[in-house]
């Protein structure tokens, strides 16, 4: 016997389910999520900016002009302590940047005095130059911050001087008198090298779209490089170095972690105890 299914009338039919309405996130919300700090790692720049990371191989950029007070160069000179504490944070050196007491520099002095040369070297502040750039392969991202090595910045400046005439090529000129910069990135992390630095043979405008160029320039005018820096207080940096502010650890990252200085062994302790970690280092 065939199974007969009763047909429902319109009056008895279940009410229709309301269709899902998708709400897209704003560009600001997506960028804030992309740039947020993961774990407890500290950054020396505000979270609202986007960062440029040169890719392995060929790169082509345009350096943007400075918009901060009293600028004598397109970038801001930085002195940074990297790999600090369990989270391998980066901090601006209070001594070099503000002529104030810096706990990392103090640890470096103590390490050198006790003959721990490797640690003293690791704690030395690294020189970088913070610039605004346009990545020519991803112009849609607009202005990006880049903390380039000071050596690379020096190479770019040298390439900007005509050796025969002494003429200076204003690489950051946003008009049609500026120049793109090409280079290659080799290696990773502490083994990274930048080679083949070249200034374009011909000058070119910042963008073929004048409105786009104006928008980029307006953005960096509203966000001068010196306003992007995040300085931490002495006690904050000292606590981060000791690991007392860390709530949890992330998985191992490519950045090199700077070790803490070993406590001196008591006179009565065996010589072998000097190689054992202290209670603070273990915890």
Sign of the alpha-carbon torsion through 166, 77, 50, 186: positive
Q: Is the per-residue pLDDT at 7 higher than 50? A: no
Per-residue model confidence as pLDDT tens digits over 248-272:
333 333 344 445 554 443 343 334 4
Nearby residues of 63 by Cβ (< 8 Å), 6 or more positions away:
74, 75, 131, 132, 133, 156, 171, 172, 181
Amino acid 272: pLDDT: 40
Q: Is the per-residue pLDDT at 8 higher than 80? A: no
Q: How many residues does the structure list for the chain?
A: 283
Q: If you search the block for the tokens 């910042």, which residue do you land on?
A: 206
Q: Is the per-residue pLDDT at 131 higher than 60? A: yes
Alpha-carbon separation of residue 239 from 123, 146, 271 (angstroms) = 15, 28, 29
Per-residue model confidence as pLDDT tens digits over 42-60:
689 988 789 999 999 999 9
Per-residue model confidence as pLDDT tens digits over 11-40:
555 556 677 776 776 766 665 555 554 444
**Which of 95, 87, 118, 128 is closest to 252 using CA atoms?**
87
> What gap in Å lies between CA 81 and CA 125, rounded to an integer?
5
Per-residue model confidence as pLDDT tens digits over 194-250:
999 999 999 999 999 999 999 999 999 999 999 999 999 999 999 999 987 544 333
Kindly state the average pLDDT of the residues 101-126.
Answer: 96
């Amino acid at each position: 016997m065939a199974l007969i299914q009763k047909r429902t009338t319109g009056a008895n039919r279940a009410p229709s389910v309301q269709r899902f309405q998708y709400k897209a996130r704003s560009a600001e919300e997506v960028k804030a999520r992309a740039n947020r700090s993961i774990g407890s790692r500290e950054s020396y720049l505000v979270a609202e900016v986007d960062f440029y990371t040169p890719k392995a191989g060929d790169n082509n950029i345009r350096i943007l002009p400075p918009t901060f007070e009293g600028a004598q160069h397109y970038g801001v000179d930085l002195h940074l302590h990297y790999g600090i504490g369990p989270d391998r944070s980066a901090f601006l050196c209070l001594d070099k940047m503000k002529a104030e007491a810096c706990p990392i520099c103090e640890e470096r002095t103590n390490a050198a005095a006790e003959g721990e040369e490797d640690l003293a070297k690791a704690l030395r502040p690294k020189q970088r130059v913070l610039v605004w750039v346009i990545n020519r392969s991803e112009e849609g991202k607009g202005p990006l911050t880049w903390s380039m090595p000071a050596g690379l910045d020096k190479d770019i400046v040298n390439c900007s001087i005509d050796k025969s005439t002494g003429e200076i090529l204003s690489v950051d000129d946003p008009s049609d008198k500026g120049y793109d910069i090409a280079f290659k990135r080799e290696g990773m992390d502490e083994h990274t090298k930048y080679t083949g630095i070249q200034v374009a043979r011909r000058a070119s405008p910042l963008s073929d779209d004048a409105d786009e160029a104006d928008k980029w320039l307006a953005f960096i005018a509203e966000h001068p490089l010196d306003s992007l820096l995040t300085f931490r207080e002495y006690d904050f940096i000292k606590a981060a170095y000791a690991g007392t502010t860390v709530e949890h650890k992330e998985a191992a990252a490519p950045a090199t972690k700077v070790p803490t200085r070993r406590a001196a062994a008591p006179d009565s302790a065996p010589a072998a105890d000097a190689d054992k970690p202290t209670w603070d280092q273990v915890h």
